[in-house]
Amino acid sequence: MSPWPPIEPARQRAEAVRHRAAELGFDACGITTSVPPGSGDAFRRALAEGRHGEMSWLARNADRRTRPDLVLPGVRSVVLVAASYGDGRRDSEEVPSPGPGRSTGLVARYARHADYHEILAPGLTALAGFIEAMGPEGSRAVWYTDTGPVLERDLGQRAGLGFVGKHTGLISRHWGNWFLIGEVLTTVDLAPDRPERNHCGRCTRCLDACPTGALPAPFTLDARRCISYLTIELKGSIPEEYRPLVGNRIFGCDDCLAACPWNRFAREGARMRSAARPDLGQPDLVEWLGLDEPSFRARFRGTPLFRTKRRGVLRNVCVALGNVGTVADLPALQAASGDAEPLVAEHAEWAIGQIRRRESGSGSGTTGV
C-alpha cells in the first residue's frame, strides 16, 4: 500500500521528490510535464541533414525521443537530476603541460571518473522506486542516464535544471557546464518547476573555441566534426583533415564547455567526488600505446574509456602523438604500426609521418594544442 494518501497534492509530492533526490546525493533536481519537447523539429532536421554521423540509434528512436508517452505509456511527469563532475580547477588549467621527456594526452573531465552510468544508477533506481511508492497502485517510473530515447537537455531546461547553450549543452547558473543528467519518467502526477530561460546573451565564446567548426551556428551542432564524436562515437578512421585539429585529446573534448563564463559558479558535486580517477587526468601517451588487450581491460574497466575499446583509445593516442610527439616517441609508434589491429596500425603510420615532417622542419599538416 502506498504510504501517500491519494489526496496528496502534486506540489507536495514534487517537494518530496526533490528532498529525496538531495538525500541520494544529486546536486540539483527539477520537474517538468510529459509534453513533447519543443526541440523535436530541430532534432528531426539534424537527422535529415546527417549531422548525427554514424550514431544510427538516434534515427531509430526518433519518434520515441520526441514523444515521452511512447517511452512510458501514461507518463505524466519527468524528473531531471544533475550530478556535478566539476573539480574546482580554473579552465586555464584544463590543458596539461607535458612533463620532461613525456608526451601527454587529455581526457574529457567527465571521463576522469568511474563510469557515470554505474555511479548514478543506484540513486536513480532508488528515486524511481520512491516515486512509484508515492503514487496510486499501478504507478510506474523508469529512469535513464544518457541511455534512453529522451531529449534530456530540452526537458532539463523546461524543468529549470539549466538552459540549453549555444553549444547545445545544458548550462546551469549554479554548476556551470560540468554536470551529468539523469531522468525519471513516471505516471505519477508531480507539480512542474518553472522553466529556465536562456542566459547566453550575445556571448559566442563556445562557438569561437571549437577547434573543428562543429558549431557552425548558435544552437547547432554538426557531430561529424566534433572531437568528442571523432574520438568516442566514430568507430573507424578519423578523417585526416581533422586529425591535426584533435591536438592531444584522446577521449572527448571540453573546449566549448570550458569557454563558457558560467563556469565561474561551478562547484564540486557530492555524488561524483568519490568516483574521481586522477590517473586519467594527464596520461603518458607512450605508456598507453603499449597496452595490450588484458592490460587495457585492467586499466579501463569501469570507466567511460572502456566502451571505446582498445582499438579506439589507441587510435586516438596515435593521433595525439602525431600532433605533440617527438622523435623519442617514434620507437613506440613504429611498434604500433605493426599492431594486429589495422585501425591502430594505420593511425600509427600517420603519426610517424607527422613527427618526421615536423622534425625535418616542414611542419606540414601538424599543429600544437
Instruction: Give me the phi and psi of 309, to 5 degrees please.
Output: 70, 165
195: closest CA among 75, 80, 312?
80
Is residue 111 within 8 Å of residue 304, measured between CB atoms?
A: yes
Q: Copy the grid coordinates of residue 142.
A: 523508469
- Active-site position among 41, 115, 146, 208: 146
Q: Is 27 a catalytic residue?
A: no
Sign of the torsion formed by the C-alpha atoms of 236, 98, 328 and 361? positive
Amino acid at 354: Q
Among residues 291, 236, 293, which one has the least CA distance to residue 105?
291
Rounded-to-integer distance, Cα 360 and Cα 363, Å:
8
Give Cα 111 distance to the centre of its chain. 8
Asked if 40 and 151 touch (Cβ cutoff 8 Å), the reply is: yes
> Taking Cα atoms as reference points, which of 134, 151, 154 lies closest to residue 8?
134
Q: Which residues are catalytic?
A: 146
